[in-house]
Structure 1
Amino acid sequence: MANCMKNILKVTGLLAGVTLGVWASTKLTADVKVRDIKPYFKKRSPYVFAHRGGMGLRPEHTRLAFDKASEFKVEGFEIDIRLTKDEEIVVFHDAYVDRTSNGSGKVSNLTLDDLRELDFGYHFTDVEGNHPYRGDAKAKIVTLRELLEEYPDKLINIDIKDDPETYAGSLMPSLLFRLITELGVMDRVLVTSFYDAQIKQFNLYADNTIALGAGVDQVSKAYFLHKLGFGHMYLADADTFQIPVEYNGIHLDTKKFIEYLTSLNIAVGYWNINKMDKMDELIQKGAHTIVTDYPDISYHLMKERY
């Protein structure tokens, strides 16, 4: 047993020595690259974004939501986009319209005209269980073009939802870049996706001229390199991390992680933060962006403390 323990200690010491050697070598040779700060991030922080326009207060992704959130002085909107059958980019989260409208079907199988016929306030309920926005003229589908043109003072955080392996997903990056450049809103938009492949494909067109978010793979890589002491080896491909506070038991809201990302000029944003105390805690730790379903709560926090 004694010999066994000695052997284990020797192996452990050897591994520690190798790890230390690798760390020292990479630390000396690593060329830590800090991102240039895009115009999108040059306003005074913290930013507050209304999630899907503020889905806790009004039907998500409708003018009702965007108008209401604007009353609470948010810096912008966090939105999702999908492609219709006739290749129009609409502001919408789900693959299907069933959850939020009085219709059914897949967005990519419906035309824009089909979507305009639907009531996207149909299922929204208030705190008393009523449906106050059924049939409202502003509870209609919104195209990305319309959103960008009708809310010119707002920053727009765009999340590509269509899978890159689908037909709609394969077209989205090029169509999105074309629309952004046509409208001249390069400094007002941030493009991100859970699919790292969509971000990379979009950036083939944008060539780092438009602010980018990080996909799941990028966040995982940065977190574990930082946690293992090899953060100096991470090469940032994103201008911001839009992340949850916790994922699969891993806390992503530590002050050290926020400081690490900030040192690389990566703006750290958290979603969906709906409690005032948590918003305040994250801002105090150095969070750049708060994404919330309830812009009224963030408004009172910012007014009282910032």
Structure 2
Amino acid sequence: MKGLLRNVLMSAALVGICSGVVGHAQAAEQINPSLTPNKILNVAHRGASGHAPEHTLLSYELGQQMKGDYIEVDLQMTKDGELIAMHDETLDRTTNGTGLVKNYTLKEIKQLDTGSWFNETYPQYAKDEYVGLKVPTLEEVIEKFGKGARYYIETKSPEVYPGMEEKLLEILDEYKLTGPNVPSNKVIIQSFSPESLKKVHSLNPYIPLVQLLWYDGPATITDAELEVYKTYSIGLGMNFNTIDEAYVQKVREHGLLIHPYTVNEKSDMRKLLDWGVTGMFTNFPDRLQEVLREANKITLKGNR
């Protein structure tokens, strides 16, 4: 596939550029193949959330089993300052509770069922074991999967939760997921908020950051915008159905990685790989793994 071949050819130049963002000489030592275009990242979006209730330990575990490269964790903060794995600011969609996360303590949120809704919404994937699942904290996720896993963490609505970034970095440091002896690919932090990412960058310039973008129509981006993003991030993520090959190549030519979201159909996965993306988010990491295996066979056959 032309995108994979192009990834290999562009690797050396891009690694050099991205290293400057992560931290000059130290980054050169820390840089890992999973943060270069040689490696197409398969990011299990909210875990294997096409198969199991999102942001539950079971969903994350299934994502690992399906060869997802990263556990993706969206963060919200409770009334008593605990970081939990949840996409929405409200409890309504994925639990049997209602109202804003910030208005409830962790103890109160722990009483909620975050699995039954999935069985009702997706009966074709329903399982009895999903009933009664609990909302995990970030610490519980890390304790479950340990330092052997990689984490792609999003600061959701950071303007609603003062101190979210400091709390996140405190936890990462406590569990030794950051630091001079930790590979730079162990944790990636993403956000739609440039302010949140810049804050993280000021507190720890060695953590790779990804700027999330949302487009309501066909995606466009300027050279000036890309150069600004490069000052604090190693890559961009955006809704995949708004971009085209020219957009992907423009991002790549500026030395940034590109991880579109949320790609669930194999035809879309193949198209994006042909365009040269360096990874993608999917609710079905098993599907992407199959597509990557197919692409690898084609690439190997073409190199014979």
TM-score bin (small chain): 0.7 to 0.9
Which residue is equivalent to 2:40? 46
Change in 2 beyond 3 A, CA 1:268/1:95: same
Q: Secondary structure at the match of 1:224?
A: coil
How much does 1:129 deviate?
Answer: 5.9
- Tell me the equivalent position of 2:71: 77
The match for 2:174 is: 182
Q: Which amino acid aligns with 2:288?
A: S
Are residue 282 (structure 1) and residue 298 (structure 2) matched? no
CA displacement 1:247-292 (0-9 Å, x = unmatched): xxxx4232x3323322333111010000112112212221111100
Q: Distance in 2 between matches of 1:269 and 1:235?
A: 14
Distance 1:127 1:161, change over 3 A: closer
Deviations 1:139-170 (A, max 9, x none): 21111112123223332111111241x3x2x2
Q: How many matched pairs?
A: 258
User: How has the CA–CA distance of structure 1 residues 231 and 106 changed in structure 2, closer, same or farther, with 3 Å as cutoff?
Assistant: closer
1: distance between equivalents of 2:18 and 2:49?
32
Residue of structure 1 aligned with 2:17, choices 16, 22, 34: 34
**Contact 1:50/1:295, CA 8 A, preserved across alignment:** yes
One of 275, 283, 296 as aligned partner of 1:293: 283
Q: For residue 179 of structure 1, what is the amino acid of its counterpart?
A: I
Distance 1:135 1:278, change over 3 A: closer
Amino acid at match of 2:207: I
Pick one of 262, 270, 285 that aligns with 2:252. 262
Equivalent position of 1:10 in the other structure: none
Query: Could you tell me whether the CA contact under 8 Å between 2:44 and 2:285 is conserved in 1?
Result: yes
SS at match of 2:18: coil
**What's the CA shift for 1:223?**
4.7
Contact 1:199–1:212 (CA<8 Å) still a contact in 2?
yes
1:192 to 1:128, Cα distance in 2 relative to 1, 3 A: closer
**Aligned partners of 1:130 and 1:258: how far apart in 2?**
34
Structure 2 distance, partners of 1:131, 1:263, is 44
The reply to whether residue 214 of structure 1 matches residue 211 of structure 2 is yes
Counterpart position of 1:147:
141
TM-score of the aligned structures, taking structure 2 as reference length: 0.76
Task: Report if the CA contact (8 A) 2:263-2:282 is conserved.
Answer: yes
2:244 corresponding residue in structure 1: 253
- 1:203 partner SS: helix
Compare CA radii of gyration and give the structure with the larger one: 1
Supply the distance in 2 between the matched residues of 1:273 and 1:147 (Cα, whole angstroms).
24
- Which residue of 1 is the match for residue 8 of structure 2? none
Cα deviation digits, residues 154-190 of structure 1 (max 9, x gap): 32111111241x3x2x210111111112212123111
TM-superposition CA deviations, 1:47-99 (whole Å, max 9, x none): 10111112211000001211111111110122210111111111111111111
Structure 1 residue aligned with 2:86: 92
SS of aligned partner of 1:124:
helix
Residues 53 and 130 of structure 2 are in contact (CA less than 8 Å); yes or no, is this contact kept in structure 1?
Answer: no
Report if the CA contact (8 A) 2:212-2:238 is conserved: no
Please tell me the residue identity of whatever aligns with 1:190.
I
CA distance in 1, matches of 2:134, 2:243: 36
C-alpha separation in 2, matches of 1:135 and 1:287: 34
Structure 1 gaps, min length 5: 1-32
Tell me the secondary structure at the aligned position of residue 34 of structure 1: helix
Q: 1:133 to 1:60 in 2, by over 3 A?
A: farther
The answer to whether the 8 Å contact 1:55/1:61 transfers is: yes
CA distance in 1, matches of 2:164, 2:158: 10
**For residues 204 and 83 of structure 1, what CA distance do their matches in structure 2 show?**
21
Matching of residues 13-24 of structure 1 within 5 Å: none
Separation in structure 2 between the aligned mates of residue 199 and residue 106 of structure 1, nearest angstrom:
24
